[in-house]
Amino acid sequence: MSNNFSENKIHPSLLKRKIIHIDLDAFYAAVEIRDNPLLKGKPVIIGGLPQERSVVCTCSYEARKFGIRSAMSSAMAKKLCPQAIFIRPQFEKYKKASQIVFQILQKYCSTIEPMSLDEAYLDVTIEARESSATAIAQSIRNEIFLNTQLTASAGIAPNKMIAKIASDINKPNGLTIIKPKDCFIFMQDLPLKKIPFIGPVTAQKFATHQLLTCKNVIQAGKDYILEHFGESAIWVWEKAQGIDESDVCTTHIRKSFGEEETFPKDLTNNSEIIAELNRIVKNLYLILERKNIAFKTISIKIKYNNFQVKTKAKSFPLYFSDLYSMEKISNSLFLEMEKKTLPIRLLGVSVSNIISKNEMNQVTLFPDYI
């Protein structure tokens, strides 16, 4: 317990920075509603159609009232809300709207960490010397709406973690401020799953020890966490107290690229499966070509109709990027791992250990070790 901070003892990191988390509200759905006002006030779901065995990308707040969430199957979403309006995602449209938003962000701050098309962290520590972080966030939200007719929620806090949690509190179109002196108390009653990067598995491990909230973890103390969860879990204890010293990174290094598809009808014939696999490989190849990417590792993913998932990967000593090699390796990996006779629901292909071709002298095409 003596290792814990409290409302009377502010962690030094909470006095160093001012962070804004900007999060556009139900972004894909909001763009569609903006472009078709007849959708306003209705349960709109962005994703594949229910009969296609696809998933929900996002949905309007009216749809969320029915319990619909991202990554839920479209079929389940239809059951929960039969009157829902399903719209296939139009990513080019969303990308254009996102570009306008990020141009606005760049007018107010130079230290920006994009997290997706609709989400970003801003470190406004320097900018807030002349104008408050609150004024900056409000100006950004106003200008986003003026230029895109989209609303954005914002969280303002001394670190990224609390700013992200805060931005979700008053959605949609809300602004939440958490000051340094309030961070410890703010975290107390939050469920552990509210902390970014704590997934269901970690939350469940802590739940078996009746550690359900940040307050539970804080009261258990550092020694208890070490004893029962190991040193790798200390970060949970720290974040439960509102401590997060991660920087706002202006550049993200992507580690992999992938493409996958869920089929409207299960695949059972190997020649048909190989044809679909090669089609997915070609789609991924075109993406990599546009982005000028080479790689050393390729992997494939199979999901059977009983929802069991299998993956297999292979790495090579040299970078390569040609379609012939990608197809040959993917087919080989599939034939090595496909020992079952179960119908296949989903196929996926991904590459990792990537590098931009601009950063290397030579990419091995048609490598002789394949």
- Supply the residues annotated as catalytic: 119
Choose among 156, 136, 40, 142: nearest CA to 101. 142
Residues 151 and 140: their CA atoms lie apart, in Å, by 10
Name the β-bridge partners of 166. Answer: none
Q: ω into residue 172 within 30 of 0, thus cis?
A: yes
Contact between 354 and 256 under an 8 Å Cβ cutoff? The reply is yes
Choose among 223, 227, 186, 229: nearest CA to 207. 229
Where are the extended beta strands (E) located within the chain? 19-24, 44-47, 56-59, 85-87, 112-116, 119-123, 152-157, 175-177, 256-267, 293-304, 309-320, 344-356
Q: Is 40 exposed, middle or buried (0-12, 13-18, 19+ CB in 10 A)?
A: exposed
Q: Which amino acid belongs to residue 338?
A: E
